């Protein structure tokens, strides 16, 4: 996260990301009131359009070049669609999100809704909601008061019904009277989501809404977030650096790196056909195998999001090999190195060269070869005492369905 983001309190942003001190409900109501019924036919047809958007920041030092945080990005988010912006820290995801919100000026390009540019529309009149990592709830209001923030001016009974409906939607039925201080981190984000959804913004912008939570809570909330967005038919742009989260929450995922868009597609499509090695690595593919007629094959290490391409756990690769669905590369261990906490084998495969294999990939002794020290390794579980040593002959079993061939 960058530290210099403008906070909602200084922008007069819509009540979906209010300021405890100076946020204005009037701004958002005016924004909603200024729209014609449903914004017309064109608006119905198209959602968000991002066209060749460039966001630049002033040079950090004198004589240095300005930083192009977003460098010519174009994408669309259809009505009712959830699109995740996925990429490593500093790749420009938040800058793009903020540019869409109107919090960051465009150095070039255009942002449209329903085909019409919103670049000259003030932030609070765009009818775009925002939700951040830290929820930014009002501590002086109870839960219901937070959710009702963007509903000011509506009949009291209607507001109460909407608040209760949203509390149910986010899994906190009856929590309206609770004080914000009594909520857990996960509950706070649920309330923040309910508040963001309350005025039914035409676009919801979510900036790492789950990243402050611990892993297991994040996984559960990602599912609940997806369900809430679907149930409300909300069009959303969702920033995350976590590929699992992106794949759970979004209909399509846009992978960014260094200010540019590398690939956009539904999760399963990205898994099956990553555009290049950079995308593949970011999605969790680990071992890259150069092959003569097929440029690069690689094996992923984490489960894919759909059943059709689900990566089998290491033990199951044994049966994969037995049923003939595995390719086997035979070679000699050059080195065993530890990468990101897990041992990685560097194996010299004749005709291919050095192949790097995560030890979660099946490694078994070659039949007939000199018995390596220790048991057949990792064939049925994580590597233990049977770690091969340099000079051991091993076979790497690569499941066909766990391999993709990258375009040259
Ligand atoms: N206000 C700013 N002034 C100068 N440089 C900035 C500013 N905000 C962001 N940057 C720089 O722009 C680049 C993109 O930052 P941005 O926050 O958009 O990336 P990100 O992908 O959202 O990263 P993270 O996941 O860490 O938040 C980074 O190099 C960052 O240092």
How high is the pLDDT of residue 36? 52
How high is the pLDDT of residue 308? 25
How high is the pLDDT of residue 303? 37
pLDDT tens digits, 325-344: 445 667 788 888 776 566 66
| ipTM computed for the complex | 0.97
Domain count, the chain: 2
**Is the beta carbon of 92 within 6 A of some atom in ligand 1?**
yes
One domain for residues 44 and 146: yes
Q: Whose CA is nearest to atom 12 of ligand 1?
A: 69
Question: Ligand 1 centroid to 99 CA: how many Å?
Answer: 12
Residue 96 is assigned to a structural domain of this protein? yes
**Is the beta carbon of 258 within 6 A of some atom in ligand 1?**
no
One domain for residues 294 and 255: no
Residue 110 is assigned to a structural domain of this protein? yes
One domain for residues 254 and 364: no
Residues 6+ apart with CB under 8 A from 278: 257, 262
One domain for residues 123 and 167: yes
How high is the pLDDT of residue 367? 42
pLDDT tens digits, 135-186: 789 999 999 999 999 998 899 999 999 999 999 999 999 999 999 999 999 9
**Is the beta carbon of 57 within 6 A of some atom in ligand 1?**
yes
Question: Ligand 1 centroid to 59 CA: how many Å?
Answer: 13
Question: Ligand 1 centroid to 408 CA: how many Å?
Answer: 31
How high is the pLDDT of residue 329? 63
* pLDDT-above-70 percentage for the chain: 63
Residue 271 is assigned to a structural domain of this protein? no
CATH at 160:
3.40.50.300
**Among 216, 233, 265, where does a domain finish?**
265
Integer CA distances (angstroms), 403 to 3, 178, 309, in order: 40, 51, 10
**Is the beta carbon of 259 within 6 A of some atom in ligand 1?**
no
Question: Ligand 1 centroid to 87 CA: how many Å?
Answer: 12
Question: Ligand 1 centroid to 380 CA: how many Å?
Answer: 44
Residue 344 is assigned to a structural domain of this protein? yes
How high is the pLDDT of residue 246? 93
One domain for residues 134 and 163: yes
**Among 231, 265, 299, where does a domain finish?**
265
Residue 274 is assigned to a structural domain of this protein? no
Q: Whose CA is nearest to atom 5 of ligand 1?
A: 57
Question: Ligand 1 centroid to 404 CA: how many Å?
Answer: 32
How high is the pLDDT of residue 357? 63
Residue 78 is assigned to a structural domain of this protein? yes
Where the chain has pLDDT below 70, the residues are 1-45, 284-329, 339-344, 351-387, 395-408
Separation CA 194–CA 214 (nearest Å): 20
Task: Out of 1, 2, 242, 282, give the residue to mutate to test ligand 1, the one with the largest number of ligand atoms within 8 Å of its CB.
Answer: 2
Question: Ligand 1 centroid to 4 CA: how many Å?
Answer: 9
One domain for residues 101 and 129: yes
Question: Ligand 1 centroid to 24 CA: how many Å?
Answer: 27
One domain for residues 237 and 302: no
Task: Out of 1, 7, 10, 57, give the residue to mutate to test ligand 1, the one with the largest number of ligand atoms within 8 Å of its CB.
Answer: 57
Residue 296 is assigned to a structural domain of this protein? yes
One domain for residues 252 and 308: no
Residue 270 is assigned to a structural domain of this protein? no
One domain for residues 374 and 289: yes
Ligand 1 atom nearest 55 alpha carbon: 12
One domain for residues 75 and 138: yes
SS (H, E, C) the chain: CCCCCCCHHHCCCCCCCCCCCCCCHHHHHHHHHCCCHHHHHHHHHCCEEEEEEEEEECCCCCCCCCEEEEEEEEEEECCCCEEEEECCCCCCHHHHHHHHHCCCCCCEEEEEECCEECCCCCHHHCCEEEECCCCCCCCCCEHHHHHHHHHCCCCHHHHHHHHHHHHHHCCCCCCCCCEHHHCCHHHHHHHHHHHHHCCCCCEEEEECCCCCCCHHHHHHHHHHHHHHHHHHCCCEEEEECCHHHHHHHCCEEEEEECCEEEEEECHHHHHHCCCCHHHHHHHCEEEEEECCCCCEEEEECCCCCCHHHCCCCCCHHHHHHHCCCEEEEEEEEEEEEEECCEEEEEEEECCCEEEEEECCCEEEECCCCCCCCCCCCCCCCCCCCCCCCCCCEEEEEEEHHHEEEECC
Ligand 1 atom nearest 2 alpha carbon: 17
Task: Out of 61, 66, 90, give the residue to mutate to test ligand 1, the one with the largest number of ligand atoms within 8 Å of its CB.
Answer: 90
Among candidates 256, 259, 251, which has minimal Cα distance to 275? 256
One domain for residues 253 and 374: no
One domain for residues 219 and 290: no
Question: Ligand 1 centroid to 362 CA: how many Å?
Answer: 40
pTM: 0.71
Give CA torsion, residues 151, 156, 158, 163, to 10 deg. Answer: 60
**Among 230, 265, 300, where does a domain finish?**
265
How high is the pLDDT of residue 169? 93
Question: Ligand 1 centroid to 57 CA: how many Å?
Answer: 9
Query: Can you give the residue range of the structural domain that contains 136?
Result: 8-265
How high is the pLDDT of residue 19? 35
**Is the beta carbon of 94 within 6 A of some atom in ligand 1?**
yes
């Amino acid at each position: 996260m960058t530290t210099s983001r403008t906070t909602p309190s200084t922008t007069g942003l819509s009540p979906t990301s209010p300021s405890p001190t100076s946020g204005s409900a009037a701004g958002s109501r005016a924004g909603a009131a200024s729209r014609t019924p449903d914004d017309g036919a064109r608006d119905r047809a198209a959602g968000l359009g991002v066209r060749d958007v460039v966001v630049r920041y002033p040079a950090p030092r004198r004589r240095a070049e300005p930083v192009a945080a977003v460098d010519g990005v174009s994408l669309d988010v259809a009505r009712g669609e959830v699109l995740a912006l996925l990429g490593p820290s500093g790749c420009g995801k938040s800058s793009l999100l903020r540019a869409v919100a109107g919090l960051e000026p465009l150095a070039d390009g255009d942002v449209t809704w329903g085909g019409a540019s919103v670049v000259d529309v003030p932030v609070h009149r765009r009818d775009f909601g925002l939700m951040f990592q830290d929820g930014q709830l009002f501590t002086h209001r109870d839960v219901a008061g937070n959710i009702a923030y963007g509903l000011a001016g509506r009949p009291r009974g209607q507001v109460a019904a909407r608040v209760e409906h949203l509390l149910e939607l986010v899994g906190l039925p009856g929590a309206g009277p609770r004080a914000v201080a009594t909520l857990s981190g996960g509950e706070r984000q649920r309330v923040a989501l309910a508040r963001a959804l309350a005025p039914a913004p035409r676009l919801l912008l979510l900036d790492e809404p789950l990243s402050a939570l611990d892993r297991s809570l994040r996984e559960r909330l990602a599912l609940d977030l997806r369900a809430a967005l679907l149930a409300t038919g909300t069009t959303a742009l969702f920033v995350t650096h976590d590929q699992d989260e992106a794949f759970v929450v979004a209909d399509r995922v846009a992978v960014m790196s260094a200010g540019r868009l590398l690939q956009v597609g539904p999760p399963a499509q990205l898994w099956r056909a990553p555009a290049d090695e950079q995308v593949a690595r970011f999605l969790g593919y680990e071992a890259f195998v150069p092959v003569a007629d097929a440029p690069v094959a690689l094996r992923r290490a984490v489960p894919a999001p759909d059943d059709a391409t689900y990566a089998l756990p290491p033990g199951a690769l044994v049966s994969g090999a037995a049923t003939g669905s595995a390719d086997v590369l035979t070679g000699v261990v050059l080195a065993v190195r530890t990468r990101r906490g897990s041992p990685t084998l560097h194996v010299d495969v004749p005709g291919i060269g050095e192949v790097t294999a995560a030890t979660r990939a099946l490694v078994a002794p070659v039949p007939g070869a000199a018995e390596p020290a220790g048991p057949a390794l990792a064939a049925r579980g994580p590597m233990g005492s049977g770690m091969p040593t340099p000079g051991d002959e091993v076979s790497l079993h690569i499941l066909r369905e766990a391999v993709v061939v990258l375009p040259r």
